[in-house]
Amino acid sequence: MSARTKARKRALDMLFQADVRDVPIFDILHAESKRAATEPDRAASWMYAREIVDGVTDHREEIDELISSYALGWTLERMPNIDRALLRVAAWEILYNEEVPAAVAIDEAVELAKDYSTEDSSRFVNGVLGKIADHAKA
């Protein structure tokens, strides 16, 4: 598993945890930062995970607006927490990280959805992110 794949999973974990526990993301980041400092094998993925979480936090309003626009029939509140977090991570990569091709961000999110969410989530995530990628190109 690549360092970026691990970082996406860590970012997903942090965003999901903050959402489910209703804890400020700063608290989760602080705890993860301490953990990364004591576990050298996590250092490679920590920096990118932090970049993702900071990016999602900084651009949350726009990201959520796009997700809401393209998730036909679904409000953010109605989505499974894991799907919402996955969409935010991948949307940030598509919109704000020029180093990651949209197709890679989408594929990674779809795989995470297959591993951690419902049977239908991978198709849902793929569809919403495909529309966000089209929006980003325009």
Radius of gyration of the chain (CA): 14
**Distance separating alpha carbons of residues 114 and 130, to the nearest angstrom:** 17
pLDDT tens for each residue of the chain, 138 residues long: 788 999 999 999 999 999 999 999 999 999 988 888 888 777 778 899 999 999 999 999 999 999 999 998 899 999 999 999 999 999 999 999 999 999 999 999 999 999 999 989 999 999 999 999 999 998
**Distance separating alpha carbons of residues 108 and 2, to the nearest angstrom:** 11
**Residues 94-118: pLDDT tens digits?**
999 999 999 999 999 999 999 999 9
Q: Is the pTM of this model over 0.85?
A: yes
The string of DSSP letters for 37-92 reads: HH-GGGHHHHHHHHHHHHHHHHTHHHHHHHHHHHSTT--TTTS-HHHHHHHHHHHH
Tell me which of 3.10.270.10, 1.10.940.10, 1.10.240.10, 1.20.1280.260 is the CATH number of domain 3-137. 1.10.940.10
How many Cβ atoms from other residues are within 10 Å of residue 103's Cβ? 12
Residue 5 confidence (pLDDT): 93
Tokens (6 digits) for 69: 């626009």
Q: Where are the domains of the chain?
A: 3-137
